[in-house]
Amino acid sequence: MISAAYSLLYSLGLTGLLSQGWTLTYWQQVVTDGNIWISLLYSLAIALSAMGISLTAALYLSLRHKAALQQKTTAYLLFLPLGIPAVVAAFFTYQMLAPSGLLSRVSYAWGLSESAAQFPSLVNDSLAIGIVITHIILAIPYFTVLFNNIYLSENVADLEQVSNNLGSTRRQTLRVIVIPLLLKRAMASIVMFLIFVMGSYEIPLLLGVSDPRMLSPLIADKMFRFDLTDKPEAHAMLLIYLLSVIAINLFVLKRTRLYAS
């Protein structure tokens, strides 16, 4: 927080190369301009899409393929994406999904497209398909490990057995007991993942578009571009982001067992 004091002073015109003294102009510009809110909503939409698909896939893998996940080699292979940095994942997605990428070439070879230009735009698109896919590939193994750990530590198999003995169908047991329990226990990690995706930088940098932009590239770009008049606004945006993260962290800590000894 002490570090953020400089950002606060900068955003209020009290420091910086072009500082002209106390003013709320930069904050007014940021709040009324709308860029930060569009970026915030865009980042949230991407994070929610990636999270929804990842959680569904991870729940499916951890609940339907429990036996496979007990096999050392299969588990190792499934969890390999945990060892891929974001910048490499973005590069890989680009090589797969770009108009000149592998999928486009396969589609050409199978006669589904006649040129690279005909291949649908899956990277650097405003729908952020490439960004969402990359986050999904990175998140599924993480959530699969997490759900499996919770499944074992919370003795969910015993709960399933009791539920079946009491006459529930498998679907009812999953819907009413197993899935809510796994999601509730994983809530802190799910919210952290949401913050992580919303603040991601390398992936939108390689796979995103210039408008709309996700939060980190938007703020970093304003902060480091040559136009110094943008810097106070960038610091104001940074503080809005910081306050949002603090609020979410407080929410997570109040609602989860992280504080419990």
Partner 1 sequence: MPRKNFHIVLVASVVIAVFPFVWLPLMSFFSDWNYPNILPGVLDVQQWKLFFSGQQDVRHSFLLSLAIATTTATLSTAVGFGLARTVSFGSRRKQGIFWSLLPVTISPVLFATILAFYFNVAGISGTVGGVMIAQLLIAIPFSIIYFTAFWTPRVMHMEQLAATLGSTPYQTFTQVVLPYARPFLLVCFFQTFIISWFEYGLTSVIGAGQVQTLTLKVYLYVQEASPSLAALAATLLILPPALLLWFNRQYVFKPLGV
Comparing CB distances to partner 1, the nearer of 29 and 74 is 74
The gap between the terminal CA atoms of the chain, to the nearest Å, is 26
Query: From the list 23, 44, 81, 142, which residue makes contact with partner 1 (rule: CB under 8 A)?
Result: 81
Residue 205 makes contact with partner 1 by CB under 8 A = yes
For residue 166, the minimal CB distance to partner 1 (Å) is: 25
Binding mask 157-196 for partner 1 (x = CB under 8 A): -----------------------------------x--xx
Residue 88 makes contact with partner 1 by CB under 8 A = yes
Comparing CB distances to partner 1, the nearer of 45 and 137 is 137
Comparing CB distances to partner 1, the nearer of 165 and 261 is 261
For residue 210, the minimal CB distance to partner 1 (Å) is: 15
Structure tokens at 247: 């609020």
Residue 74 makes contact with partner 1 by CB under 8 A = yes
Residue 41 makes contact with partner 1 by CB under 8 A = no
Contact by Cβ (8 Å): 123, 93: yes
Stretch that binds partner 1, among 17-25, 45-53, 69-77, 179-187 (CB under 8 A): 69-77
Query: From the list 31, 162, 246, 247, which residue makes contact with partner 1 (rule: CB under 8 A)?
Result: 246
Assign residue 155 a region (left: φ > 0; alpha: ψ between -120 and 50; beta: otherwise). left
Element (H, E) at 206: helix 202-207
Query: From the list 148, 156, 190, 236, which residue makes contact with partner 1 (rule: CB under 8 A)?
Result: 148
Residue 216 makes contact with partner 1 by CB under 8 A = yes
How many CB atoms neighbour CB 210 within 10 A? 10
Structure tokens at 15: 């420091």
For residue 114, the minimal CB distance to partner 1 (Å) is: 10
- Output the DSSP codes for 214-231: -HHHHHHHHHHSS-GGGH
Distance of CA 176 to the CA centre of its chain: 27
Query: From the list 13, 130, 141, 208, which residue makes contact with partner 1 (rule: CB under 8 A)?
Result: 141
Q: Which of residues 47-66 bind partner 1 (CB under 8 A)?
A: 57, 60-61, 64-65
Residue 247 makes contact with partner 1 by CB under 8 A = no
Structure tokens at 111: 């006669």
Greatest pairwise CA separation for the chain in angstroms: 74
Q: What is the three-state SS of 159-194? A: HHHHHHHCCCCHHHHHHHHHHHHHHHHCHHHHHHHH
Stretch that binds partner 1, among 29-37, 100-108, 161-169, 178-186 (CB under 8 A): 100-108
Q: Which residues of 62-100 are buried (b: 16+ CB within 10 A; e: fewer)?
A: bbebeeebeeeeebeebeebeebebeebbbbbbebbbbe
For residue 1, the minimal CB distance to partner 1 (Å) is: 8
Residue 153 makes contact with partner 1 by CB under 8 A = yes
